[in-house]
Amino acid sequence: MRAMSESETLTDLERGREDCVLRFADGASFRLDYVEVRMSCPCAKCRPRQENEQRLIEFREEVTRLRLDKPKAELVGRYGLRFQWLTGCSSGIYSFELLRNVAEQAGTALD
């Protein structure tokens, strides 16, 4: 198994009502809307919906219509998280690497 870099090691997850704060071992923290987390679900059902611009637009419309109440989150091994949404998909395992990428692209960096 490949060693994880500090930037890909999640050290803390604070769940708010509409967004969460992710902290990583390299000291970086990001605020991330649950819509963005849900939009990047890596499961077999959601992955194809992220393939091209048109499908992403439709996927985003669908996800933003859902109520994304504070999901439960559980650690999967030492490398990932599974979110349980009250509505929608709960089968995707988000690797820390994926969460870091999403946080950098769609989140807000915090000091």
**Residues making contact with Zn ion (CB under 5 A):** 41, 43, 46, 89, 92
Nearer to Zn ion, 80 or 92 (CB): 92
Kindly state the smallest distance separating residue 91's Cβ from Zn ion, in Å. Answer: 6
Q: Which residue has the tokens 């994304």?
A: 68
DSSP codes, 45-98: TTGGGGSSHHHHHHHHHHHHHS-----EEEEETTTEEEEE-SSS----EEEHHH
Kindly state the smallest distance separating residue 54's Cβ from Zn ion, in Å. Answer: 19
Up-side HSE of residue 84: CA atoms within 13 Å toward CB?
5
Kindly state the smallest distance separating residue 93's Cβ from Zn ion, in Å. Answer: 10
